[in-house]
Amino acid sequence: MHVLKSLIAALLAWGATVRWLPAQDQYLAVAGALLMVNTSTVYRSVNRALHSAFTRIAGTSLALLVVWLLGSAVGAVAAVLAITLVTAGRRASDDRLQIASSAVLTLAAAAAAPVDHAILAAIGTVLGGAIGMTVNALVLPPLHLAQSDTAIRDLARSMGVLLCQIGGGLRERRALDRADVWLEQARDLERLVGETQQHVEEGQESLRWNTRCALGRCGSAAHSELWHALHGVSFQIRGIARTLADSADDRGGRRLGPVFLERYAELLELAGDAVEAFAAPHGPKPADQDDARERLRGALDRAQSWHDAMTDLVGHGTLARPDAWHVYGSLMTDLERLLIDLGRTDAHAAPAR
């Protein structure tokens, strides 16, 4: 598809300029069209085309002004650089450099050929960019919802697997050996969250000004809300892993009781199952989507039931040892927040994709 769109844009740019632009300027138009047609989203291609047109026109105008005042000489280059450095602020440094580059290239063209050729080169580049932008918007404009959906599910699956691993390790009394590893894995979730955010933002951007959406072919786009919910879950997982690591390294004897660890392990496994149920790919049939959602809701209900029972036991002092009450409280608080975030995830998972 990229090759087909590039070919269409190149042919249109060449056909639009072949009659009234010199040969070298036709290639500039084709280059501009190829640059814009391969932009990842329609919104980005429009922004880039407008930005390119602005910098090209500004650079050409600046060069023509300097040539008219000083002529095509070394002093003209110095004047261009001085003007761009003085007139643009710190925040516009990239635009300033692009305008200066366009101006210097125009000076080079003006030194080798009449000034009119430099103007035609700028017009050809702008025209080619406009053609590439139009082709990108009208010929199967890019959508990145599939990549966004895959990233969300990969993140949720990683979280679910880690929760189940921590639960299984607590059940097997391996917290002393594995607590530091769990903490490192929980911290690594931050990297996965950042990568997922990039995919989600690109997916949301691909919906803007997309002609497919006008035809109703964009589908659902709840990925941003889902990412925010899973982002919150990642914080709670890291908090749980950090508390377990600190408890395992504690030399003061404030260790967690075996009854609490047994029940908390089951609670973590239920939460992990809930996240993995959310991460399971939905089938094309509504029945498959309803089944995946029902598994998620069931896992959440079981986890919440266990959480309520555990909170009651801790509150009555049945499980808590006097020297470790703050550890119990920290673990239960993180788990309660995790369940709240999972509930938000469940709420946003309802629309079919």
* pLDDT tens sequence across 266-312: 888 888 888 877 666 544 444 544 555 566 566 667 767 766 776 77
- The ranges assigned to domains in the chain are 2-138, 145-348
Give the residue with greater pLDDT, 161 vs 3: 161
**Count of residues in the chain:** 353
**Beta-carbon contacts of residue 290 (< 8 Å; ≥ 6 apart):** none
Report residue 278: phi and psi, to 5°.
-65, -35
Tokens of 339: 């369940």
Task: Give the pLDDT band (50/70/90) at residue 66.
Answer: confident
pLDDT tens readout for residues 304-348: 776 677 677 666 666 555 556 677 778 878 888 887 777 766 665
CA torsion 48-51-56-57 (nearest 10°) is 140
pTM for the whole structure: 0.70
Nearest of 32, 327, 278, 328 to residue 158 by alpha carbon: 278
- pLDDT more than 70, % of the chain: 67
CA torsion 347-349-351-352 (nearest 10°) is -160
Tokens of 63: 């060069």
- pLDDT more than 90, % of the chain: 13
- Coil/strand/helix, residue 210: coil
Class level of CATH domain 145-348: mainly alpha
CA distance 207 to 220: 10
